[in-house]
């Protein structure tokens, strides 16, 4: 007796399977479906808002209500170039970014060098944790901590008082100290990674060929680690350029971020035009960094 159940049933054609067959045959569609969400996010949310900002910078406001009027003009850009206050603020912010970056590079290099080349594996791990720990603390806590440190009765003045000195207080110099502290880990980590990647064989070869350690450092280690320093500087430079909270808390003068923040409500187009300044600066900076090979070190 034969029964139907003895016959092997044909493979089931579920919707999922059919879909996967379809996608397998149409590779372009597959690719498009895969990338639609992330690329859509990047374009609509990220580039779209930047584009909107660019549009707004060519608009105008109604003087009484501060309503944005879509009246195309270049007045906002003219204002940013003509009025000395905007120029001063832009220059002040860019110099701050440069000084913070230099200070961080000078501080970070020896620490990273010690971590990568000198420290035992055990203490290296401890050091990495020590560098990372401050990143776990809230930005605001650190910012307010610096406000307290730099205050008239803060710990800095207390430490310096016996020597007849006083701290910088709430000033541009005080802001420089706080920024240098805040962004230091962002400089240490890329340099550490860069130094670790240098093959020790190169250093040994240099020594074998009679290179003294100072010579080896200047001619082998530093040139090979330099792209990593540039990579770190992208963080310290751009973070300083864009920050508005710390300058609002510590500085007595205005920075690009604080001006944009206070203009955003009543003079949105001016704020938008001014926001193009850091974007332009960063574009040039990233172009230079790419030429120096920083992106291979990230």
| Binding-site ranges for another protein (CB under 8 A) | 27-28, 31-32, 35-36, 39-40, 43-44, 47-49, 51-52, 55-56, 61-67, 70, 83, 85, 88-89, 151-153, 170, 252-254, 259, 262-267
Q: How far is the CB of 29 from another protein (least distance, A)?
A: 10
Distance between CA 91 and CA 113 in Å, rounded?
Answer: 33
Least gap, CB of 167 to another protein (angstroms): 12
Closer to another protein by CB, 64 or 136: give it.
64
Residues with Cβ < 8 Å from 72, sequence gap 6 or more? 58, 59
Query: Quick one: 242 or 248, whose CB is closer to another protein?
Result: 248
Nearer to another protein, 123 or 266 (CB): 266
Q: Sign of the CA dihedral 208, 210, 213, 214?
A: negative
Give the tokens for residue 227.
Answer: 């792209």
C-alpha–C-alpha distance, residues 31 and 36, integer Å: 8
Angle, alpha carbons 177-179-185 (nearest 5°): 110
Report in angstroms how near the CB of residue 67 gets to another protein at its nearest.
Answer: 6
Contact call for residues 255 and 278 (beta carbons, < 8 A) = no
Q: Is 86 or 113 the residue whose CB approaches another protein more closely?
A: 86
C-beta of 66: minimal distance to another protein in Å?
A: 7
Q: Which is nearer to another protein, 3 or 65 (CB)?
A: 65
In the complex, the smallest distance separating the C-beta of residue 76 from another protein, rounded to whole angstroms, is: 12
Nearer to another protein, 32 or 126 (CB): 32
Cα(30)–Cα(113) distance, integer angstroms: 47
Residue 65 CB, nearest distance to another protein (Å)?
5
């Amino acid at each position: 007796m034969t029964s139907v159940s003895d016959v092997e049933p044909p493979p089931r054609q579920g919707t999922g399977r059919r879909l996967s067959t379809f996608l397998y045959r149409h590779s372009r569609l597959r690719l498009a479906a895969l990338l639609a969400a992330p690329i859509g996010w990047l374009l609509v949310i990220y580039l779209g808002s930047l584009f909107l900002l660019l549009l707004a910078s060519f608009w105008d406001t109604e003087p009484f209500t501060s309503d944005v009027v879509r009246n195309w003009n270049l007045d906002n850009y003219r204002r940013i170039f003509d009025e000395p206050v905007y120029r001063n603020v832009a220059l002040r912010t860019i110099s701050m970014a440069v000084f913070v970056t230099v200070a961080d590079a000078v501080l970070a290099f020896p620490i990273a060098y010690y971590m990568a080349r000198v420290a035992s594996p055990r203490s290296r791990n401890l050091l990495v944790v020590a560098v990372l720990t401050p990143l776990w603390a809230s930005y605001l806590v650190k910012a307010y901590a610096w406000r307290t440190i730099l205050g008239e009765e803060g710990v800095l003045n207390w430490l310096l008082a016996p020597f007849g000195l006083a701290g910088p207080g709430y000033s541009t110099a005080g802001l420089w100290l706080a920024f240098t502290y805040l962004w230091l880990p962002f400089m240490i980590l890329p340099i550490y990674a860069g130094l670790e990647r240098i093959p020790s064989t190169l250093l040994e070869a240099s020594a074998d060929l009679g290179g003294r350690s100072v010579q080896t450092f200047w001619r082998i280690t530093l040139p090979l680690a330099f792209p990593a320093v540039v990579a770190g500087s992208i963080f310290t430079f751009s973070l300083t350029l864009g920050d508005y909270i710390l300058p609002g808390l510590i500085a007595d003068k205005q920075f690009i971020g604080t001006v944009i923040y206070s203009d955003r409500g009543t003079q949105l187009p001016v704020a938008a035009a001014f926001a193009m300044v850091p974007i332009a600066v960063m574009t040039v900076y990233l172009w230079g960094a790419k030429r120096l090979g920083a992106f291979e070190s990230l």
